């Protein structure tokens, strides 16, 4: 974008110089020749401005996306700080709402796999066809967490 901007500035400087030269021309032939070059330079300048406009719109889109991503990261940092990794039974790890936040919302667990992907997915009690299964399921990634024996 800076290269295109510098080229546009150069075109404006060239047009200024051409206008001065045209004013000092002594014949109509000289003025017509400069006018032809002037038109070509104006067209080039117009095309450069259009390219700059496209580049600026793209830069603005990237900036807006980056700001939105940063907002999401900041929001997640606040949310994930409310949880701690726990092991409700040997070998079973989940993130549990810290006790100081219970009351703001009911105590619950969230999926450790989704947590690593910066998603809060509350584990849900799962009724299974297999009546011996006692556990919870992540509604996002469908991971089952057997809690029998807790």
Residues that bind Zn ion (CB under 5 A): 111, 113-114, 121, 138, 140-141
Minimum CB separation from Zn ion for residue 133, in Å? 17
In the complex, least distance from residue 139 CB atom to Zn ion, rounded to whole angstroms? 8
Closest CB to Zn ion among residues 11, 121:
121
Does residue 9 sit in helix, strand or coil?
A: helix
CA dist list (Å): 87 to 22, 84, 94, 124, 150: 84, 10, 6, 17, 10
- Closest distance between Zn ion and the C-beta of residue 123, in Å? 8
- Residue 54 pairs with which residues in a beta bridge? none
Task: Report the 10 Å Cβ neighbour count for 59.
Answer: 11
Nearer to Zn ion, 8 or 115 (CB): 115
Neighbours of 46 (CB within 10 A): 12
Q: Which is nearer to Zn ion, 62 or 141 (CB)?
A: 141
Q: Which is nearer to Zn ion, 82 or 120 (CB)?
A: 120
**Helices 28-80/2-24 angle, 10° precision:** 160
Helices and strands in the chain, H and E counts: 3, 6
Nearer Cβ to Zn ion (34/94):
94
CB of 124 to Zn ion, least distance (A): 11
- What is the smallest separation between the CB atom of 91 and Zn ion, expressed in angstroms? 17
């Amino acid at each position: 974008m800076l290269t295109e901007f510098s080229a546009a500035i150069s075109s404006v400087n060239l047009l200024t110089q051409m206008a001065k030269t045209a004013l000092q021309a002594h014949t109509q032939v000289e003025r017509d020749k400069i006018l032809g070059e002037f038109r070509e330079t104006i067209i080039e300048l117009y095309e450069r401005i259009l390219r700059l406009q496209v580049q600026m719109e793209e830069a603005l889109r990237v900036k807006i996306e980056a700001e939105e991503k940063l907002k999401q990261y900041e929001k997640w940092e606040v949310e994930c700080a409310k949880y701690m990794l726990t092991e409700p039974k040997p070998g079973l790890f989940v993130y549990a709402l810290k006790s100081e936040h219970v009351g703001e919302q009911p105590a619950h667990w969230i999926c450790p796999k989704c947590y690593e992907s910066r998603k809060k997915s509350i584990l849900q009690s799962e009724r299974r066809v297999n009546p011996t299964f006692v556990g919870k399921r992540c509604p996002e990634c469908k991971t089952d967490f057997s809690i029998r024996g807790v």
